[in-house]
Amino acid sequence: MARHYGLGIGEDHGWLGHTGELPGYNTGAYYLPANKAVIVVMVNSDILVGKSNPMPLICKALTKVVTPRNVPQ
């Protein structure tokens, strides 16, 4: 499944949401309509973990547990 983006809302493996970043912070809020599930992650760090910001890594780890069929890339 391809990822899509429009009007500030992105779609990735069924999750609809948006991310944000300011110096020192990473945030993400996502909704999975099929499961009526919501994930909101707020991280007070912008230090890279490998080559990624911490928030997407945390979201991916959470979705692997909560919705293993809908894990974002």
Cβ atoms 72, 17 nearer than 8 A: no
pLDDT at 55 over 90: yes
Say what the pLDDT of residue 18 is: 93
Number of structural domains in the chain: 1
Reported confidence tier of residue 7, pLDDT bands at 50, 70, 90: confident
Where does 1-73 have alpha helices with state H?
54-66
Residue identified by tokens 């909704």 is: 31
**Residue-number span of the structural domain to which 52 is assigned:** 4-66
- The encoded tokens of residue 56 equal 């997407």
Say what the pLDDT of residue 73 is: 82
pLDDT at 32 over 70: yes
Q: Is residue 73 in a domain? A: no
Give this prediction's pTM.
Answer: 0.81
- The CA distances from residue 4 to 7, 16, 29, 39, 43, in Å, are 10, 9, 16, 19, 24
Q: Is residue 20 in a domain? A: yes
Reported confidence tier of residue 50, pLDDT bands at 50, 70, 90: very high
Cα Rg of the chain (Å, integer): 12
Average pLDDT in the 17-42 region?
A: 94
